[in-house]
Amino acid sequence: MVGFFKGTATAMITPFKDGGINFEAFARMIEYQIENGTDMLLVLGTTGEPPTMTDEEKLAVMRFTVEKTAGRAKIMFGCGSNSTAHAVEMAKLAEKEGADGLLAVTPYYNKCTQRGIVEYYKAICSAVSIPVVAYNVPPRTGVNILPATAEELSLIPNMAGIKEACGNMEQICETMRRIRDKMDLYSGDDNLNLPILAIGGAGLISVVSNIAPKETKQVYEYMAAHDLDRANELEDKLLPLIDACFTEVNPIPVKYGCDVIGLEAGLPRPPLTELEDAHKKIMDDAIKSLGLKKL
């Protein structure tokens, strides 16, 4: 299927405090995104640190997100797992709690064949009636959705797209060729936002937009209007911040960046650690160069 969403989605961080979830801070983050034009909130994706959260915490976050968003933006919940049964269980729960769509990362660690990938997504899609987006991020999972496999996935009725973060534009172009007009392609790598939009990507699922949602949305709008000059000009200004967000493994840097602008992100949960001092300076400089003010 095509047309689930167009525009920008923010891969939301989960703010922690005193061993639990800081819902007061999370409410501010939701408002910040909506006020700055973000079209969809991706909650409990990789950036939200779900591997360190209990299912009870995830449920609480789902309910809180739906309540606070109140229909002002679409909501997509992460439900992927290296257990197909658990992914299906979480997909059903997310649909029940009011998700507009689901993001399901490929199975990780135990890995699987390309046939296993297809069966995994068939199981998730058949368990729910809402749109499902596959998430391809081989550097994290060790599993790569190849273009021919993406084409097969596009035949599943409620398979709405693929979030691409494989880092290989040659592969992404071939995937786009095979799925065009069958399901949508989304950029899952802020460094590749412009080229993915240029080949027909439907939108951006962004980490950087936790800090700079307005600017990220503007890049999308310039590209949608075929104004490449202004898109490039703004993307050039964003690139130092994009680079700063990946000096260490996501979401370590972006959580620090949110703290800098006045959003109380807190520290990541172990085994992730606090951002190193040298990288804090890089983030500080990037935020300053973009002219972002403290909220």
**Model pTM?**
0.95
The answer for residues whose C-beta is within 8 angstroms of residue 36's C-beta and 6 or more apart is 213, 214, 217
From the list 58, 74, 163, 280, the catalytic residue is 163
Q: What is the pLDDT of residue 293?
A: 87
- Residue 153 is encoded by which pair of tokens? 């996935």
Average pLDDT, the chain: 97
Q: What is the mean pLDDT of residues 257-278?
A: 97
Q: How confident is the model at residue 237 (pLDDT cuts 50, 70, 90)?
A: very high
Residues constituting the chain:
295
Percent of the chain with pLDDT over 70: 100
pLDDT (mean) for 215-223: 98
DSSP letter for each residue of 111-142: ---HHHHHHHHHHHHHH-SS-EEEEE-HHHHS
Q: Given this model, what pLDDT does residue 189 score?
A: 96
pLDDT in tens, 37-83: 999 999 999 999 999 999 999 999 999 999 999 999 999 999 999 99
Residue among 283, 192, 270, 204 at smallest CA distance from 240? 283
Mean pLDDT of 229-240: 97
**Structure confidence at residue 114 (pLDDT):** 97
Catalytic (active site) residue 135 = yes
Average pLDDT in the 272-288 region? 97
pLDDT digits (tens, 9 = 90+) for 111-157: 899 999 999 999 999 999 999 999 999 999 999 999 999 999 999 99
Which residues lie closer than 8 Å to 6 by C-beta, 6 or more apart?
39, 202, 203, 224
Phi and psi for 159 in degrees, rounded to 5? -80, 110
CA distances from 40 to 9, 77, 85, 156 (A): 4, 10, 27, 23
Whole-number pLDDT of residue 208? 98
Burial of 44 (0-12, 13-18, 19+ CB in 10 A): buried
Tell me 107's DSSP state: P
For range 100-109, the mean pLDDT: 97
Q: Which of 77, 66, 64 is nearest to 12 (CA)?
A: 77
Extract the tokens encoding 13.
């961080």
Four-CA torsion 200, 201, 203, 205, nearest 10 degrees: -160
What lies within 8 Å, CB to CB, of 75 at 6+ separation is 40, 41, 43, 65, 66, 69, 98, 99, 100, 101
Tell me, what's the pLDDT at 244?
Answer: 98
> Given this model, what pLDDT does residue 168 score?
97
Domains of the chain in sequence order: 7-225 (3.20.20.70)
Q: Which residue has the tokens 């689930």?
A: 4
Across 213-230, average pLDDT:
97
Residue 7 has pLDDT above 90, yes or no: yes
Asked if the model's pLDDT at residue 295 lies above 90, the reply is: no
- Paired tokens of 58: 């995830």
The token duo for 73 is 């933006």
For residue 41, what pLDDT is reported? 98
Which residue of the set 32, 135, 186, 256 is catalytic? 135
